[in-house]
Amino acid sequence: MDATSPVCTLAEERPETGGLMPLERALAHKGYAIARGAPLPPDFADFWNDLPLDTFMADGGRYRRRRYATFALEGGEIAPRPAEPHYQSLSYNPLNGGIARHFAPFAPEATTHPCLLGLLRDAEALFARSAPGARWHVEAHQFRILAGSENAGLPTPEGLHRDGVDRVLVQLVARHNVIGGVTRITDPTGRTLDRTTLTVPGDLYLLDDRRVMHEVSPVRPEDPARPGWRDVLVVTFRRRD
């Protein structure tokens, strides 16, 4: 990896924004936080151009491509974990849950990219006040949702849900020739708290998964004659202590 690759952070660079503090306050007060970010470096975004098909879609859909990686995170130290399956119970994922799903791993260069490592360290720092000294099990997912002229792509085919973890980070990597992809954040009863659309690469939201639920509307091609897709990085954090 090029040593000059920029480190990605959750905080804006301008000192008057207060760094991570606005995100921390929003997450503590509302259970979610939304940030408008800067474009991700091309050498990081390029990893989304080589994602294999997700073959575990119970709806038969062929609109989702993905890779998966896990890490141990503690005290700013990030250790990639050996390959392991992704598992969600049916109570959290009624469509694809209940089985161990073995996804293709991240490219080795992606797991050590300064952009990814910077995001993980910033997230740990953000969570430190509410979870001091926590040891985190981190699951990272690269998703590409394809929008075809015949069928919409479904970013959350399971519908309104929780992920069964402590925190969730969703960051936009790219939007190409798509409309839709509106995120709805709700309380546990399904009452809408916010709607947001990640439009600029780098835009992100953070969720306290114990307090809120979320879903994302389908994406369709803006120009039906051309392919469209929505690329995101999804990272979940679960306490191991």
pLDDT grade, residue 19 (50/70/90)?
low
Torsion of CA 6, 174, 31, 159, to 10 degrees: -150
Model pLDDT for residues 47-92, shown as the tens digit of each residue? 999 999 999 999 999 999 999 999 999 999 999 999 899 999 999 8
pLDDT of residue 36: 80
Model pLDDT for residues 113-138, shown as the tens digit of each residue? 999 999 999 999 999 888 889 999 99
pLDDT beyond 50 at 14: no
Whole-prediction pTM value?
A: 0.92
Kindly report the number of other CB atoms within 10 A of residue 106's CB atom.
21
DSSP single-letter state for residue 11 = S
- Nearest residue to 49 (alpha-carbon basis) of 37, 62, 61, 67: 67
Kindly report the number of other CB atoms within 10 A of residue 59's CB atom.
12
pLDDT of residue 16: 41
